[in-house]
Amino acid sequence: MDNSACTLLSFSCTLPTTPKLSFFLRPIARFPSKVPTYRASSALSSEKDVESLQIGEGSPKFKWVEVGRAATDAQKEAISKLPFKMTKRCKALMRQIICFSEEGNLADLLGAWVRIMKPKRADWLVVLKELKMLNHPRYLEVVELALLHVSFEANVRDYTKLIHSYGKQNRLRDAESTLLSLKQHGFTCDQVALTSMLDLYSKAGYFNKARGTFEEIKSLGAPPDKRSYGSMVMAYIRAGKLEEGEALLQEMWDQEMVAGSEVYKALLRAYSLQGDDEGAQRIFDAIQLAGIIPDTRICGLLINAYSVAGSSEMARTAFENMRKAGIEPSDKCVALVLSAYEKEGKLISALDFLMCLESEGTVLGKEASQGLAGWFRRIGVVEEVEHVLREYISSSGREANSEICLS
């Protein structure tokens, strides 16, 4: 209480009790109750460190303790690297988050920061940007909590970015919860948010939800983009609906839109594993039309389709075509051709294939050698085949290669 207040009280004691006296005393009785809040806010806004602050009654209890002394060396280094131009209120929160313990309640911390520092949206964005640059493990949690505060002034893009971030981490439940919150706050889902949900449903194997989300994207008015189409094609592939996925690829092509190479490869692989050589050949042709240059893996998937289907000659033809195109066959490709010959019992054709490879200097790798040895053991002709191969090598003037040994 200042000198003026003391003078007032001293003067009032000499006068008889009147209504005017109570009029002057009421404000004085109420004044001290506001002082702690004002002083706490002022202290936290200054450059000086705050020893501690207990949030007042009627709010979650959070003790704002200055972390400078208790911080580890790593935490002190991280704090020292905060941008020089960052405002004091942002640095105050960043220090707390960097040194935040797992036992603490992040919601209480942010709530205290909002009540004390009175941040604006720009302050929130600065903090979130810095946390993202630091790759802080609590970044997404801070974003989620920020959406709940009026001072953040959340918009639909903020929700969309959070859903997209959850999508990258395959956190389906969190993404669904954020999408629900978006709708509850009166926002309309945009294509970016729905595409992220579509991709999540596709990866999780929820085909019906993926298809429903894809239809919702179409209902927005604008045509689905490349990522939306690609995610839906992948959903068809994972559900085993390969022809529907292929039809959707054709729909993209009709709209002069080309899917990513990973989508084509996934569909080719699915046809290949099923032994659907016709479907695999169609996708292989589509890959080339899309401007994607086939590599050893892509050619290997086509060869495998013919191998599983039992079409050894077509497998051999695909093998020769990739060599003509300048693509060096892998040992896996050689093994697939031999496997196709084994399924049809074409031993002579397999030996001819091996001799052609040997004449061109191709050495069998581990996988092809083991597969061939297993086949010859199963039919009991290991010694006879080794004898024939050695005679061929000897007559051609080549040294016997250890990889050709089948026993």
pLDDT on residue 389? 61
pLDDT (average), residues 352-381: 84
Q: Which of 218, 283, 294 has its CA nearest to residue 250?
A: 283
Within 10 angstroms of residue 134's Cβ, the number of other Cβ atoms is 15
Packed helices 139-146 and 172-184: angle between N→C axes, nearest 10 degrees: 20
3-state helix/strand/coil string of 392-403: HHHHCCCCCCHH
CA gap 275, 311 in Å, rounded: 10
CA gap 92, 90 in Å, rounded: 5
> For the chain, what percent of residues have pLDDT higher than 90?
57
Q: Which of 123, 111, 117 has its CA nearest to residue 62?
A: 111
Contact 146, 114 (CB under 8 A): no
Q: What is the distance of C-alpha 331 from the center of its chain?
A: 33
Cα diameter, the chain: 136
pLDDT (average), residues 135-146: 93
- pLDDT of 89 > 80? The answer is yes
- pLDDT of 391 > 80? The answer is no
pLDDT (average), residues 101-124: 90
pLDDT in tens, 189-215: 889 999 999 999 999 999 999 999 999
pLDDT on residue 226? 94
pLDDT in tens, 41-56: 333 333 333 333 333 3
3-state helix/strand/coil string of the chain: CCHHHHHHHHHHHCCCCCHHHHHHHHHHHHHHHHHHHHHHHHHHHCCCCCCCCECCCCCCCCECCCCCCCCCHHHHHHHHCCCCCCCHHHHHHHHHHHCCCCCCCHHHHHHHHHHHHCCCHHHHHHHHHHHHHCCCCCHHHHHHHHCCCHHHCCCHHHHHHHHHHHHHCCCHHHHHHHHHHHHHCCCCCCHHHHHHHHHHHHHHCCHHHHHHHHHHHHCCCCCCCHHHHHHHHHHHHHCCCHHHHHHHHHHHHHCCCCCCHHHHHHHHHHHHHHCCHHHHHHHHHHHHHCCCCCCHHHHHHHHHHHHHHCCHHHHHHHHHHHHHCCCCCCHHHHHHHHHHHHHHCCHHHHHHHHHHHHHCCCCCCHHHHHHHHHHHHHHCCHHHHHHHHHHHHHHCCCCCCHHHCCC
pLDDT on residue 31? 34
Most confident region among 16-30, 223-237, 392-406 by mean pLDDT:
223-237
Contact 372, 358 (CB under 8 A): no
Contact 206, 191 (CB under 8 A): no
pLDDT in tens, 241-267: 999 999 999 999 999 999 999 999 999
pLDDT in tens, 297-311: 999 999 999 999 989
pLDDT on residue 327? 92
Band (105; pLDDT cuts 50, 70, 90): confident
Phi, psi dihedral angles at 168 (to 5 degrees): -65, -30
- pLDDT of 336 > 90? The answer is yes
- pLDDT of 119 > 60? The answer is yes
CA gap 128, 364 in Å, rounded: 56
Which residue type sits at 59?
A: S
Band (369; pLDDT cuts 50, 70, 90): confident
The pTM for the full model equals 0.73
Packed helices 121-133 and 139-146: angle between N→C axes, nearest 10 degrees: 160
Residue 32 is encoded by which pair of tokens?
A: 């001290």
CA quadruple 195, 200, 203, 208: dihedral positive or negative?
Answer: negative
More confident residue, 364 or 177: 177
CA gap 13, 21 in Å, rounded: 9
pLDDT (average), residues 152-173: 93
- pLDDT of 382 > 70? The answer is no
Band (73; pLDDT cuts 50, 70, 90): confident
